[in-house]
Amino acid sequence: MLKNVTKEDVDVLVELQEIEKGANRIRKVLDGVENEISIRKKKRRDAEIELKTLEAQLTEIRGQYKEFENEVKDRDIRLKKSEEYLKNVKTNTEYQTLLREIDDNRKRNSEAESQMIDFLDQIEKKEKEVSESQSRFNEIVETTDREIAEIENNTVSERKELEIITQKRNEVAINVKPRLLDRFNKILQQSAGIAIVPLTNTTCGGCFMNIPPQKFIEIQRGESLNFCPQCHRMVYYKKS
């Protein structure tokens, strides 16, 4: 129970509640719209993630290919040097060692080259996947951009209306004592956008519970602001 709340105070709160109901109706519409927009944004994000993942895979394979290519190049240089050196070796042992080394390097190069061919295949496949994914992404961006613009365009009047209602709410709220307004806003948040309800006969207009007789008499007197014992909303007496 809040004491020293006048009939005028209650009237302003009731007016505020009416404004709030209007705002809620529009917010619901806009929430639905927000949801529609976020579905499209998610679709776009998913397509972008897919594209980026494929691009990263392509970079990785290209990197591996490059590594093999460099190894082969290095070994080719060493091979050339060894072949040059082979002409001038003095001993047979030296000759045999060098020949083994050359053979070994040639073998490793040929293995590397066959792996490189394999990588080239993979690169080609991945490039195709990237290009397809890029087209899909572009298409999705184009479609979702258009759809989002359309959705936003269709709600221009709602947004404008909400702006006007918000302004009106602020104008009315100035007339409410701060402690009352605080309480009102808190209940508004906790109780599905309805903070103050009329008491018709002895029934709470918020949760439809019957108010105990003693409490009802108190509320009827109208000298204080009372709360429903069940839903904790502000209740005021309204002659039916």
* Binding residues vs Zn ion (CB under 5 A): 204, 206-207, 228, 230-231
> Which residue, 137 or 216, has its beta carbon nearer to Zn ion?
216
> Which residue, 5 or 206, has its beta carbon nearer to Zn ion?
206
Give helix then strand counts, H and E, for the chain.
Answer: 5, 5
> Which residue, 162 or 234, has its beta carbon nearer to Zn ion?
234
Map tokens 């104008």 to a residue: 171
Q: Whole-number minimum distance, CB 179 to Zn ion, in Å?
A: 21
Q: Whole-number minimum distance, CB 184 to Zn ion, in Å?
A: 15
Q: Extract the runs of DSSP E, i.e. beta strands, from the chain.
A: 2-3, 196-200, 203-204, 224-227, 234-237
Q: Whole-number minimum distance, CB 9 to Zn ion, in Å?
A: 20
For β-strands 196-200 and 234-237, DSSP reports them as parallel
Q: Whole-number minimum distance, CB 20 to Zn ion, in Å?
A: 17
Q: Is 182 buried (19+), middle (13-18) or exposed (0-12) by CB count in 10 A?
A: exposed
Residue among 137, 130, 159, 133 at smallest CA distance from 60 = 130
Residue 137 in tokens = 């992404």
> Which residue, 51 or 206, has its beta carbon nearer to Zn ion?
206
Q: Whole-number minimum distance, CB 210 to Zn ion, in Å?
A: 10
> Which residue, 21 or 146, has its beta carbon nearer to Zn ion?
21
The count of other CB atoms within 10 Å of the CB of residue 116 is 19
